[in-house]
Structure 1
Amino acid sequence: GEIPVLVVSEETSVHAELACVRSPLAGWITVRDVECEAESDGKRGAKTDEETYVCRQMIFSCNPQAVQSEVKIRLPAAKNEGSRPPEFLFCQSTCAYHLAIAAAFALLPEETLSRDAPQKPTLVASLLGLGGGVLAQLLVCLFGASFELHLACVDLDPVVLQLATQFFAFHEAPPTLTATVDDALAFVERLPAHSQDVLVVDINNSASSSALTCPSEAMLQANVLECMRTKLRPGGILLFNLLSRCPQSKREIIGRLTSIFSFVSAFSMPADVNELIVCGTAPPSHVATPADLQARLDALFSAVGEDLSKVGADDARMLAAEKSTWRGWSQRWRILENSKREDTDMSST
């Protein structure tokens, strides 16, 4: 699953129910379109003579209050329905967490992001937990023109991959984008040592009795974290969404991370419910303050925007050019140090 902080609203107006499929792992999986705001005029459920905007959602019956995946879609007018396919607006993200992950790429080493060489730099990443494939598509849209991107997606549930392909326009494009039905732990264990620039853990905790919503408790075991650390290249980063209702549990998790990784930082989300945790084998060079990160973000997305303009990817180019969006993430970022972390946690309990 993807986005535990996107919750099902009682006020949601359903545009269409598209599928309800039984999964041996997630119960019933529902795919539906709900009305959403159009980018152009901000009207809810906006319609014109030419098109309708909806948000397509994936919801699991085992966690019915959470939206696992969501993407904005531009539907053609009814008179054109058969002649024009829906347009998936992956770069008009409805999920702040996904944008934070894109911003975290600015914490990669300068040599990884360098554009001095004549060929595009290689960027190897793995995404554990596919959902509708929305995050994967966003990363490919944003970074595919600037990097020789190799993004491997893994999900344990074959039904999820089937629905992502059928209803969320997810499609493999090797070697840039691949998908595998596999156990995430087994997949990580098989990865070559020091092979990953970015590892993203996007797997929710299925134990409903636990205070930890995300990530899965299995991915936070010390031996698993140590295994993932060994898979990172020098300067590589491990990313995961941390959402826990228990301050003590959160303290213990952060303490475990700082004992294994030499660099741990966090992006707070606008709703202040969850955080994107960034772990690395070494602190990023010349990035010690939000101002340092802002400079990195400006440089990264300015270059990405230039590359996207050359290939005519307008939606992605416009997202890369939104300086206020990326600078906002620099203000939400902090390095987690023991003394600061203890002060923060004491004030929140």
Structure 2
Amino acid sequence: MALLPRSPAEFGSARYWERFFRQRGDRPFEWYGTFPELCPVLRKYVRPRDKVLVVGCGNSELSEQMYDTGVCEDIVNIDISDAAIRQMRQRSGSRRPRMSYLLMDMLHMDFPDAHFQVVLDKGTLDALLADEQEATLAKVDKMFAEISRVLQVGGRYLCVSLAQAHVVKKAVKYFSQEGWVVRVHQVAGSEDKQQFVLPIFVYVMTKFRKIPGSAQQILEICPEEQDKPMRVESVEQLVAAVKDRQHYALLCSQLSKSPCGEQVSLDLCDKESGKPRYTLHVVDSPSVKTSRDNHFAIFIIPQGRETEWLFGTEEGRRQLATSAGFGRLVTVALHREQHYEGMAGIQAELSGKVMELAPPSLPARQQVPFLSVGGDIGVRTVRHRDASALSGEFVVEDVKGDGSCYFRRLIFLRNRNVVQSEARLLPPTPLPGQKKRRKDKKKPSLAEPPTAIDKSYLCCEHHKAMVAGLCLLGGPDPLPGTPLAVLVVGLGGGSLPLFIHDYFSPAHVAVVEIDPSVLEVATRWFGFCQDERMQVHVSDGLDYVAKLAAEGVFILNLVCRDTQLKEAVLATLREVFPLLYTRHIEGEVNEILFCQPSHEGRREPAELGTRAQALEGALRQPGRPWDSSYVLADVLQAIKIL
């Protein structure tokens, strides 16, 4: 305990380090960063003929190992501790004649200008920059100025560091402003994870002459030694990239020691662009009894299905992990901006990373299975990409669902795992005289997808509930032949107003949509069109609704996780609508509210189910397509009166 400093300032004190090395004796002190870990980076940036200066050498074996392995021999080591310098001179002596140890303060070096090709610093900057006091920062500036002075143009300053945020920011900002090229390497860790959890980094600052008036900065990060450098735009982005890698290392360490009580989420980014490529969720299932073969598995979610409840929600993933029968399951979602070379390519790409997330119970050399739905990665094709001033960036994409079904989706990228609108695509109809496709031939891919929209398809449970809720209107006769005036707030892809327009033939449908870009997308990509019975008004829906008379039925899809806010909304609705029905969407947050201005139209759930059954019978006319995946009567069976 006597070796620990009494304050951060002591890390920069010659007296402290003199006492440290006297009490420690001859045992080498490495702190962090062993030669085997650092060797790949050192060999990349240190040439055998370089003249190297090691600042704050202490009694580390690094210089000796560099000398003995042929990395470099012309090495000058300096330190402010006389005890450390004497130890090292005795250790090397005549065994390493080209290497020297000098008692010298790196803030006031005696070397001439441009004397070295490399300056090597292992932990010295971290020790000196223990706080951000003005006096400490002044010392660091002096250190950097001296390193800059003794380095030749084209020389490299290699700084081995744990990369605390304030240390990275100070070093990178200083040298990038001087016109130097800055590259940060993450060093591959040793097998001994118990010794040090945090990853080690090497800042490689290459000296160039500063061009007056130039603001260009070259900042790069190499996540792994074999990777190509990835360019970043600012010091803040570089600091954030380092922080992400530290967080990942801590996460892997935590997961390797004990089961995780809550689901853990992380992104793995593309090495070229830096954009997310995979989103991983780690799910532990304590209820699963593990044997040798069911400790750990990887589940690849097919493209386009990451929005489904089973894959896109915490509860769904928990159910998936339990039903799969593994103690720990890692689900992997594939991002739409990326290209993937099939299941085998994904397995090869992920194998190294996902094994870092393995549970502590995994037997040594155990083969980990990769799972998926149907054994493939699904199909996703982006048809259109744009941005709206109101809605932000969005994409229109075609995806393959279960079996042979294809779907077209509108996704707002600010909430990329939520489908804003979805339409089912119809298979192509053969032209007159055209032969039907032979059964033994492959089905068409999304390279040339079917483009006709199935207008009988309602993608959302709340859309089905809204259609069924029209049973609250009218007299004893089914509604399809009854004139209706329907207002739909929010267009999206237009599937709900299209359905009402086509299946309730006398109905006049008004749609209010605040974003003109959405109307353009619905018209071009989702088969939406206006006529004398359906018109779109580009306006604020709240303003439009406020002008309406309080009659008929108001159907609201309420999505609210805040219990207090939800109660406040219900209280406000009760003030306007005395009669409220509610229908909760199973497995979702959505709750459908059917609001009427009078108790006179009250009907019991059983009666509503009968009316919905009659409505469906009237809608299902011969020759008219109908989606048999839902029954309107079933939708209203669970309705409640508030």
TM-score interval, smaller chain: 0.5 to 0.7
Q: Which residue of 2 aligns with 1:71?
A: 423
After superposition, the Cα gap between the structure-2 partners of 1:331 and 1:114, relative to the gap in structure 1 and judged at 3 Å, is: closer
Aligned letter for 2:411? I
Contact kept? 1:155, 1:181, Cα under 8 Å: yes
Asked if 1:18 corresponds to 2:333, the answer is no
* Superposition RMSD in Å: 2.7
Matches within 5 A, 1:209-228: none
1:256 aligns with 2:572: yes
- 2:411 is matched with 59
Contact 2:457 2:495 in 1 (8 A): no
Q: Against the structure 1 CA distance between its residues 158 and 126, is the aligned structure 2 distance closer, same or farther, given a 3 Å change threshold?
A: same
SS of the residue corresponding to residue 416 of structure 2 reads coil
Q: CA deviation at 1:74?
A: 2.3
Partner of 1:134: 495
CA–CA separation in structure 2 for the residues paired with 1:86 and 1:279: 37
Counterpart CA distance in 2 for 1:128 and 1:333 is: 23
Partner of 1:122: 483
| Bigger shift: residues 260-269 or 161-170 | 260-269
Shift of 1:112: 8.1
Q: Which has the higher strand share?
A: 1
The range that moved more, 126-135 or 61-70, is 61-70
Q: Following TM superposition, by how much is the alpha carbon of 1:272 offset from its aligned partner in structure 2, in angstroms?
A: 4.3
CA distance in 2, matches of 1:250, 1:333: 18
Q: Structure 1 pair 274/137, CA: closer, same or farther in 2 (3 Å)?
A: same
CA shift in 2, pair 1:55/1:301, >3 Å: same
For residues 137 and 99 of structure 1, what CA distance do their matches in structure 2 show? 13
Structure 2: 5+ residue stretches without partners: 1-306, 313-332, 335-376, 429-442
Q: 2:618 aligns with which of 281, 286, 303?
A: 303
1:232 aligns with 2:550: yes
What residue number does 2:631 align with?
325
SS of 1:172's equivalent in the other structure is: coil
Q: State the distance in 2 between where 1:294 and 1:23 align.
A: 41
* 2:500 and 2:507 in contact (8 A); partners too: no
In the other structure, the counterpart of 1:275 is: 591
Q: Note if contact 2:479-2:504 (Cα within 8 Å) is conserved in structure 1.
A: no
Across the two proteins, how many residue pairs are aligned to each other?
A: 258
1:110 corresponds to which letter in structure 2? G
Q: Distance in 1 between matches of 2:455 and 2:479?
A: 26
CA distance in structure 1 between the aligned counterparts of 2:556 and 2:394, rounded to whole angstroms: 23
Q: Distance in 1 between matches of 2:444 and 2:424?
A: 18
Q: Distance in 1 between matches of 2:478 and 2:550?
A: 16
Map 1:135-150 → 2, pairs under 5 A: 135-144=496-505, 148-150=506-508
CA distance in 2, matches of 1:114, 1:78: 39
Query: Highest relative contact order (Cα 8 Å, sep 6+), 1 or 2?
Result: 1
Which whole-Å CA distance do the structure 2 matches of 1:240 and 1:255 have between them? Answer: 14
Work out whether residues 74 and 89 of structure 1, in 8 Å CA contact, stay in contact via their aligned partners in 2: yes
Aligned to 2:537, the other structure's residue is in SS state strand
Which of 460, 479, 499 aligns to 1:95? It is: 460
State the alpha-carbon separation in 1 of the partners of residues 423 and 563 from structure 2: 31
- Provide closer, same or farther for how the CA distance between residues 103 and 284 of structure 1 changes in structure 2, counting only shifts above 3 A: farther
Asked if the contact 1:15–1:54 (Cα under 8 Å) also holds between the matched residues in 2, the reply is no
Which segment is superposed worse, 106-115 or 125-134? Answer: 106-115
What's the CA shift for 1:266? 0.8
Find 1:154's aligned residue among 494, 501, 512.
512
> Which amino acid is the alignment partner of residue 143 of structure 1?
F
| Letter matched to residue 251 of structure 1 | E
> Which of these two proteins has the greater Rg computed from alpha carbons?
2
Please give the per-residue CA displacement for 1:215-274, whole angstroms capped at 9, x wherever unaligned: xxxxxxxxxxxxxxxx233xx111111111111211121122112211111111121421
Q: Sort the Cα spacing of 1:163 and 1:284 in 2 relative to 1 into closer, same or farther, 3 A.
A: farther
**Offset at 1:187?**
2.5
Q: In structure 2, do the counterparts of structure 1 residues 100 and 170 end up closer, same or farther at CA, with 3 Å as the change threshold?
A: same
Rounded to whole Å, the distance in 2 between the matches of 1:286 and 1:256 is 20
Aligned mates of 1:97, 1:170 — CA distance in 2: 20
Partner letter of residue 86 of structure 1? Answer: T
Alpha carbons 2:523, 2:529 under 8 Å: kept: yes
Work out whether residues 513 and 538 of structure 2, in 8 Å CA contact, stay in contact via their aligned partners in 1.
yes
Match of 1:344 in 2: none
CA distance in 2, matches of 1:325, 1:275: 18
Cα distance, 1:93–1:291 mapped onto 2, change above 3 Å: same
| CA–CA separation in structure 1 for the residues paired with 2:521 and 2:378 | 22
SS in 2 for 1:257: helix
1:171 counterpart letter in structure 2: C
User: In the alignment, which of 495, 506, 525 is matched to residue 167 of structure 1?
Assistant: 525
Match of 1:141, as an amino acid? D
For 1:136, give the aligned amino acid.
P
**CA spacing shift, 1:333–1:104, aligned 2, 3 Å:** same
| Distance in 2 between residues matched to 1:297 and 1:89, nearest whole Å | 22
How far apart, in 1, do the equivalents of 2:510 and 2:574 lie? 27
- Partner-residue secondary structure (3-state), 1:102: helix
Q: How far does residue 108 in structure 1 lie from its aligned partner after superposition? A: 1.2
What TM-score do you get using the length of structure 1 for normalisation?
0.67
For residue 94 of structure 1, give the secondary structure of its aligned residue in structure 2. Answer: coil
* Match of residue 294, structure 1, among 588, 599, 609: 609
Per-residue deviation, residues 287-340 of structure 1 (Å, max 9, x unmatched): 12x2111111122222333xx33xx31x13x65xx7x7222222220011xxxx
3-state SS in 1 of match to 2:501: helix
Contact 1:266 1:335 in 2 (8 A): yes
User: Quick one: which amino acid aligns to residue 153 of structure 1?
Assistant: V
Amino acid at match of 1:155: E
Q: Is the 8 A contact 1:57 1:68 kept in 2?
A: yes
**1:109 CA drift (Å):** 3.3
